[in-house]
Amino acid sequence: MALGILGYVGSRNGYYPLALVNFEVVNARDTENNFSAAYRYFKNAAAVYGLDIKKLESEGSRLELKRSVLEKLIQDKLIYQELKRRLRKSDFQAAAENKINNFLANAKNLKEASENLYGLELEEFKQRVLAPQAYQEILEGRMNLNNENFSEWLIKRRSEAAIIILSPNFEWRDGRVQLKK
């Protein structure tokens, strides 16, 4: 009974899988939080540049943005898995933290910008935006040292990975998240 209650509460709060990437979960809550941040960013950018916000609010635009966010989360998961395969977790996490701290030291008003542009507190911005970027940069650097091409690796990895999409709106096809037809 306790398991049923935990399952219900977890699913109500978005802690259910939306995708599996080599049997690691991308949950609905992360996808929705990243979507909200990206949507807010694009809405703010449209307002600044005088673009029609109504186009962004259309169901088609929102669905495309959700597709893009899910695809980015899957890519981030593949990068993280590769880093774990190539390096000790403590090593690349320390390097990522160092990159993030260097960025924060050089970025003025990042706390206000992350809140105003993305609607994210600084810690959440670090987790959702800066950490995945740092991991990608670390992997790209490691690959460059080994004369490997990151873009080619990513294309190959996307095609070889075991990716299952559990959303009724999307499917994994040809190494990409696609809208279901």
Q: Is residue 171 part of a domain?
A: no
Q: Write b or e for each residue in 135-169: b if 16 or more Cβ atoms lie within 10 A of its Cβ, otherwise e.
A: bbebbbebbeeeeeebeebbeebbeebebebebee
**Token pair for 35:** 């979507």
Structure tokens at 67: 């597709």
For Cα atoms 141, 173, 167, give the angle at the middle one, nearest 5 degrees: 100
Residue 159 placed within a domain: yes
**Number of other residues whose CB lies within 10 A of the CB of residue 74:** 23
In a domain, 80, yes or no: yes
Count of structural domains within the chain: 1
d(CA 17, CA 6): 15
- The C-alpha atoms of residue 132 and residue 126 are separated, in whole angstroms, by 9
**Domain for residue 172, yes or no?**
no
Specify whether the CB–CB gap between 81 and 153 falls below 8 A: no
Q: Is residue 65 part of a domain?
A: yes
- pLDDT at res. 14: 56
Q: In the chain, which residues have pLDDT < 50?
A: 2-3, 6, 8-9
Q: Is residue 108 situated within a structural domain?
A: yes
For residue 114, give its domain range. Answer: 2-166
* Beta strands in the chain, from DSSP E residues, in sequence order: 17-21, 24-27, 163-165, 170-173, 176-179
pTM of this structure = 0.89
User: Tokens 């977890």 map to which residue?
Assistant: 10
Domain assignment present for residue 180? The answer is no
Report the C-alpha gap between 104 and 144 in whole angstroms.
25
Tell me which residue has tokens 């950490």.
Answer: 131
Closest CA to 17 of 62, 77, 63, 65: 77
Q: What is the CATH number of the domain that holds 14?
A: 1.10.4030
Which pLDDT score is estimated for 137?
A: 97
**Could you tell me if residue 179 is inside a domain?**
no
Q: Distance (Å, rounded) from C-alpha 146 to C-alpha 161?
A: 22
The letter for the amino acid at 155 is I
- Kindly report the backbone phi and psi dihedral angles of residue 126, in degrees, each rounded to the nearest multiple of 5, phi listed first: -60, -45
